[in-house]
Amino acid sequence: MTVAVEPARVILEDGTVFTGQSFGAQCESSGEVVFCTAMTGYQEALTDPSYRGQILTLTASHIGNYGVCDHDTESARPQVAGLIVREAAAVRSNCRSEEDLGGWLSRHGIPALTGIDTRALVRRLRGGGAMRGMIVVGESRSNAEVLESLQATPEMSGQDLASAAGQASPGSWDESIDEWWPAAGSTPDQPYRVVAIDCGAKRNIYRHLVAAGCVVQTVPVGTSAAGILAMNPEGIFISNGPGDPSAVVSGIECLKELHGAVPMFGICLGHQLLALSLGATTWKLPFGHRGANQPVRDLEADRIFITSQNHGFCVDQASLEAVGCRVTHVHLNDGTVAGFRHETMPIHGVQFHPEASPGPHEAAALFGGFTTAMSRHRLGETLAGEAS
Residues designated as active site: 268, 353, 355
Amino acid, single-letter form, for residue 388: S
Selection from 213, 207, 215 nearest residue 186 by Cα = 213
Q: Are 170 and 218 in contact (CB under 8 A)?
A: yes
Cα dihedral 32, 148, 18, 108, rounded to 10, equals 50
Q: Are 261 and 229 in contact (CB under 8 A)?
A: yes
In sequence order, what are the beta bridge partners of 281? none
Q: Are 74 and 203 in contact (CB under 8 A)?
A: yes
Q: Is 148 exposed, middle or buried (0-12, 13-18, 19+ CB in 10 A)?
A: exposed
Q: Is 267 exposed, middle or buried (0-12, 13-18, 19+ CB in 10 A)?
A: buried
Q: Are 115 and 87 in contact (CB under 8 A)?
A: yes
| DSSP secondary structure letter of residue 374 | H
CA distance 355 to 267: 10
CA distance 304 to 329: 9
CA distance 362 to 370: 14
Q: Give the β-pairing of 264-267 and 282-298.
A: unpaired
Q: Give the β-pairing of 171-173 and 112-114.
A: unpaired
